[in-house]
Amino acid sequence: MSARATPYASWGGVLRAPHIACRPATRAAAAEVLCGGGTMVLHGNGRSYGDVALNPGGGLMDITALDRFIAFDPDTGLLTCEAGVKLSDILEVLSRPQADGGGWLLPVMPGTRFITVAGAIANDVHGKNAHHLGSFGNHVEQVELVRSDGSRLTCSRTEHPDLFAATLGGLGLTGLILSATLRLRRVPGLGIESEDIRFGHLDDFFRLDAESADHWEYTAAWVDCLASGAALGRGIYSRGRHVPGVACDPPARAPRLSVPLTPPLSAVNGLSVRAFNALYWRKLGGAGRRLSIGSYGPSFFPLDAIGQWPRLYGPRGFYQFQAVVPHADGPAVTRELLKTIAASRQGSMLVVLKRFGTVEPEGLLSFPMPGISLALDFPNRGEATLRLLGRLESLVMEAGGRIYPAKDSCMRAESFAQGYPALDAFRAFIDPALTSAFARRVGILKEFPA
């Protein structure tokens, strides 16, 4: 397997560095690379915003060529596929409407479908139905894991259950996932009924959320992060649910539009965000709500409408921040976070507020926990942005929350340890051949202090 210096970047574009990279074509070749000596990071389709899948200047195994389906049982919905198969491929091949309009669907779909199965497992990703069905790992039946000592293990809730739990949300540090078996879900209609409702204040979000929780499977809200004072936390609440008998085709395999090149300056700035937010908040017109029935694509995968969209942030890229805080202080802390962001005037259009439910994630380092999650982008303005992120981090940690590794670029080691109390237990499962810039930065790997 030939390795060569190849540039790999974080999705936010802030970190870009050459790696000694290889892209094995088969599972056997990938296992050989892992066991061949040296340390490396495992890299999927490169949608992590920060450094969980980077190892600047060091080894990197790109798993995207492991993209074969292995088996699908149309009676049980069990799908076995290689680690690098993308969620978009699964939807395209298996989420076809059947005669009754229903069909097989991924039980958990994150904000982009262009991620690999192994990446979804390693980050234990969640979607808009987290309050009903939990996170991706809850629907993984087993993984085929190879470790650098040459062992090749089938891990599930019954075989090597501890290693299985460490691997769900394990940030690619517990071994190389060669293949995985997922339990797809049969829905009575692939199409969804979705309703957008404008709300004027953060309190209205919590009211809408409480009233929607039981009967709407998919919920999330967009928030105008520039609004302050009486309008603090105004936004649009989106809720959706499957409609029996309504068919819909899978979303396209690739975005129809793409940003062809990086503009010299960020197109996301105070003026454009203010204009966008003002217009977007009014998009529902006088009624303030809109009901529609159709494909889940546009509302589930808003980020997939335009390819290479991070280029809009210009050459300096952007930071993403996502944290969850427990319900007890959820409204108060969310208000404080939004106030801090509004005062900084640094936020962007992309802001998502979402409630996580009580379905326990199974991974030792899984991000979701019961509480309120806030996610948003910040154009990279250097020190000023890092200071803001530091303030947000402090607020989250004081409230007993945690920050999402897949989105993070600057969390402190103490914050990671506090947010992920199973860290010590997790360390026992780390494969010595695996590393990442993130794991070193937040002190998961002790021998490399941040």
Partner 1 sequence: MTSGSRIAIFGATSDIAAAYARRSAEGKARLALFARDAAALDALKADLVVRGAAEVQTFAADFTDFSALPGLARTALTALGGLDVALVAYGSLPDQKTLNTDPAALRAALDLNFTSPAMLANLLAEGLEPARAGAIAVITSVAGDRGRQSNYGYGAAKGGLQTFLDGLRHRLAPAGVHVLDIRPGFVATKMTAHLPQGGPLWAMPDKVATDIAGALRKRSAVLYTPWFWWGIMTIIRAVPRAVFHRTKL
Q: Which residues pair with 168 in a beta bridge?
A: none
Nearer to partner 1, 39 or 64 (CB): 64
Minimum Å gap between C-beta 6 and partner 1 is 8
Minimum Å gap between C-beta 117 and partner 1 is 13
Structure tokens that stand for 254 in this block = 């690739």
Nearer to partner 1, 7 or 244 (CB): 7
- Closest to 2 measured CA to CA, from 36, 53, 49: 36
- What's the CA dihedral at 172, 40, 85, 111 to 10 degrees? 60
- The answer to whether 135 and 365 are in contact (CB under 8 A) is no
- Interacting residues toward partner 1 by CB under 8 A: 2, 4, 6, 23, 25-26, 28, 68-72, 79, 81, 92-94
Minimum Å gap between C-beta 214 and partner 1 is 36
Tell me the torsion sign for CA atoms 56, 57, 59, 63.
positive
- The answer to whether 389 and 374 are in contact (CB under 8 A) is no
Nearer to partner 1, 29 or 213 (CB): 29
Question: Measured between alpha carbons, how far is 400 from 288 in angstroms, rounded to an integer?
Answer: 35
CA atoms within 13 A on the CB side of 44: 28
- Closest to 375 measured CA to CA, from 398, 399, 355, 397: 355
Nearer to partner 1, 182 or 406 (CB): 182
List CB contacts of 220: < 8 A, sequence separation 6 or more. 128, 238, 352, 353, 354
Minimum Å gap between C-beta 205 and partner 1 is 41
Nearer to partner 1, 78 or 284 (CB): 78
Minimum Å gap between C-beta 23 and partner 1 is 8
Structure tokens that stand for 61 in this block = 């195994």
Nearer to partner 1, 25 or 275 (CB): 25
Nearer to partner 1, 2 or 158 (CB): 2
List CB contacts of 292: < 8 A, sequence separation 6 or more. 193, 194, 195
3-state helix, strand, coil in the chain (%, to 5): 30, 25, 45
- Closest to 106 measured CA to CA, from 129, 131, 82, 75: 129
Minimum Å gap between C-beta 253 and partner 1 is 9
- Tokens 């829905």 appear where? 187
Q: How many CB atoms lie within 10 A of CB 312?
A: 18
Nearer to partner 1, 79 or 397 (CB): 79
Question: Measured between alpha carbons, how far is 202 from 229 in angstroms, rounded to an integer?
Answer: 11
CA atoms within 13 A on the CB side of 150: 1
Nearer to partner 1, 68 or 282 (CB): 68
Structure tokens that stand for 218 in this block = 């998919």
Minimum Å gap between C-beta 157 and partner 1 is 24
Minimum Å gap between C-beta 450 and partner 1 is 32
Structure tokens that stand for 118 in this block = 């192994």
Helix (H, G, I), strand (E, B) or coil at 37: coil
Nearer to partner 1, 27 or 234 (CB): 27
Minimum Å gap between C-beta 295 and partner 1 is 19
Q: Is 428 exposed, middle or buried (0-12, 13-18, 19+ CB in 10 A)?
A: exposed
Minimum Å gap between C-beta 135 and partner 1 is 25
